[in-house]
Structure 1
């Protein structure tokens, strides 16, 4: 997967860039995927199709009311729909239906050879549901650059849901970049893409620092284990992830069954993190 994220090309979407700069104090918000309806697609990456949402859930940019269509490779959009369906099916029923998904960008031709250039990268920022009373409620908030300075009592639930959501994304996409693995440019969104593998082939690899770091963060912030956050696969991380697998009803480790147990680990972590299901303490 090519390195991505940073600012857009000079002059691209100036109004939105100005708004982002005002909100983030000048920090780059990864506007690498924003596509205006009708913009041309580079022939090198094939068909780019504009969609108003994923899994039937509308997407927005920055503000909840700023509904935005983005350009995708159709196969990537299908995979995004599978992930959205999974997320919605594994949060508590009391949340209500998925309502809107925040995104900082999908396709953008200015990122040559990157996931966004090819329409197979997505920058996730928010997920809202809508309660029975009709009120939208934010359930996931990727803006660690904002909530990292909150009091622990306010920050802890955001962090827990962040890693529960990251677990759901890791289940469907091989390449996922978070503030844990890439703190300098992913503190305001989770990047996911399928340049390497999609949901039918994704599995765990000790050679993926991003996957290792996610497993460590999930063990610590979702399951309450004192896991060291160093992005290095070692005996402690192996032991703690195996304990989670056992708590979820499985056996073995992430290395003994890298696909089967990764799917189990990520599903259980999603459900544990959102309080959908209570598992034994690992």
Structure 2
């Protein structure tokens, strides 16, 4: 089994591309009213048991096949996220074959450890928690595109919580934007106080004029950063 992060291309699935396209066209929902807002209140909705996210089999962090109990709408959001990630990945990558992670007992948060695809009948890591490279920043971008709360844990795993996506101005979002500007876009001067100025540059290169701190601007910046990190667009 090969879990390297080489920039291989992938075969697209029409279903994944269609789902991701729908997300991109509609943009993200209205942002929470305060930074770091808690997930939407729930009314004791029953959890659903799933062994897949989209077409990808769910596995525990140790690689064994797994099942999780999810809030139904949160599982739908994870499925849309994975389709978006897949549709923007290289053409020769298969659709995601495995997602390694664990769901919280309440069913409304997920800790992601890896996303694996197939190429030449071998599994490869399109994202791996312990690996610091472009695919890490790309995957963080895709998660920030779909979730309001994205936290990097010790060891590199990423925890996401349910809720409407959008720019909230949280410390985690600003940290991501600063890191993406530096690591993906080569903007070494980006910092917490001037990150918007630097984040606007890739938007301008792609012909986008939206404020990065707006709903549309944040959606565009995270999408461009996903494609930059996975090597599917240069925007040079």
Q: For this structure pair, what is the TM-score category when the shorter chain's length is used for normalisation?
A: 0.7 to 0.9
Q: Which structure has the greater CA radius of gyration?
A: 1
Q: CA deviation at 1:54?
A: 0.7
State the superposition RMSD in angstroms. 2.0
Kindly report structure 1 stretches of 4+ aligned residues shifted beyond 4 Å: none
- Corresponding residue of 1:276: 232
Rounded to whole Å, the distance in 2 between the matches of 1:140 and 1:97 is 13
Given the two structures, how large is their TM-score scaled by the length of structure 2? 0.78
* Offset of residue 69 of structure 1: 0.7
Task: Tell me, yes or no, if the aligned pair for 1:90 and 1:276 is still in contact at 8 Å.
Answer: yes
TM-score, length-scaled by structure 1: 0.66
Q: Which structure ranks higher in relative contact order (CA pairs < 8 Å, sequence separation ≥ 6)?
A: 2
Q: Offset of 1:221 from its aligned partner? A: 1.1
After TM superposition, give the deviation of residue 219 of structure 1 in Å.
Answer: 0.8
Q: Which runs of 5+ in 2 are unaligned?
A: 1-35
**SS of equivalent to 1:95:** coil
> What is the total number of aligned residue pairs between the two structures?
198
Look up the match of 2:161: 193
Alignment counterpart, residue 220 of structure 1, candidates 177, 182, 205: 182
Q: Is the 8 Å Cα contact of residues 248 and 265 (structure 1) preserved in structure 2?
A: no
Shift of 1:95: 1.6
Alpha-carbon distance in 1 for matches of 2:208, 2:184: 18
Q: What are the ranges of 5 or more consecutive residues in structure 1 without an aligned counterpart?
A: 4-42, 109-117, 148-157, 179-184
Equivalence map 1:137-216=2 (5 Å)? 137-143=124-130, 147=131, 158-178=132-152, 185-194=153-162, 197-198=163-164, 202-206=165-169, 208-216=170-178
Q: Is the 8 A contact 2:138 2:225 kept in 1?
A: yes
Structure 1 SS opposite 2:103 = coil
Q: Any residues of structure 2 matched to 1:71-110 within 5 Å, and which? A: 71-103=69-101, 105-108=102-105
